Structure 1
């Protein structure tokens, strides 16, 4: 059986590589990523858990800007370590003049302790930063189960 151990990278196409590189340098840098790759029309950041890449859209792609509701990309969620970090990022986004879709709020329908902010990149691609208590509890339970199996 094949087992996925993580998402290695996400790559998105952008309409203006220079503009998006400035946006993502600021955003991803604030969240602890470093720009690791830059070759041709590709720029990539890494936090040693996942990589986030952008690449220049071709002429045909630039003729059809992103439209929310189209088939394809819906949003990308960055998981943060705490509610306070979601709030810190929100303050940073406001300072940067980033378009906020939904300010930080609780989303009880998503599960226990789901707290998130939603915002847009320069091309209108939706991004999210979230903290999820229920997921933390699941991870802790799994770690306990694995530790228990290792001591038998």
Structure 2
């Protein structure tokens, strides 16, 4: 992940479910254990200064977020999909080539417990 992004905020309705889902998924990208910032969970990258922030909201987000994380290989996309599905995710597109998105675009999509669309993509 590039240092061009300082942080990404994701609204969640349940910190426990969010941690169960995002903890293992973000670990694949080198993000460490969450820090609590007054009701906001922040996952810090060990590789960059980027943070992923989980905000607790009282109701489901009105517009689901789509965030795509860069994977290094097909194998990492597959691992993301497997880990996300094992930790409360819902299939929104199994790993595979996506020719409509571009040449050599290989991705997988999983909905988090709040319906946010989380993607891992490798550009082969």
Structure 1 length-normalised TM: 0.70
Q: Against the structure 1 CA distance between its residues 94 and 37, is the aligned structure 2 distance closer, same or farther, given a 3 Å change threshold?
A: closer
What are structure 1's unaligned runs of at least 5 residues? 134-152
Provide the alpha-carbon RMSD of the alignment.
1.9
1:110 aligns with 2:108: no
Match of 1:18 among 12, 16, 19: 16
8 A Cα contact 2:10 2:53, kept in partner: yes
Structure with the bigger percentage of helix = 1
8 A Cα contact 1:17 1:41, kept in partner: no
What are structure 2's unaligned runs of at least 5 residues? none
RCO (CA 8 Å, sep 6+): is it higher in 1 or 2? 2
**TM-aligned CA deviation for residue 75 of structure 1:** 0.5
Aligned residues: 120
Q: Secondary structure at the match of 2:94?
A: strand
1:126 aligns with 2:117: yes
Of the two, which has the highest radius of gyration? 1
Structure 2 length-normalised TM: 0.83
Q: Which consecutive segments of 4 or more residues in structure 1 shift more than 6 A?
A: none
**Pairing 1:4-83 to 2, within 5 Å after superposition:** 6-47=4-45, 48-49=47-48, 50-57=50-57, 59=58, 62=59, 65-66=60-61, 70=63, 73-83=64-74
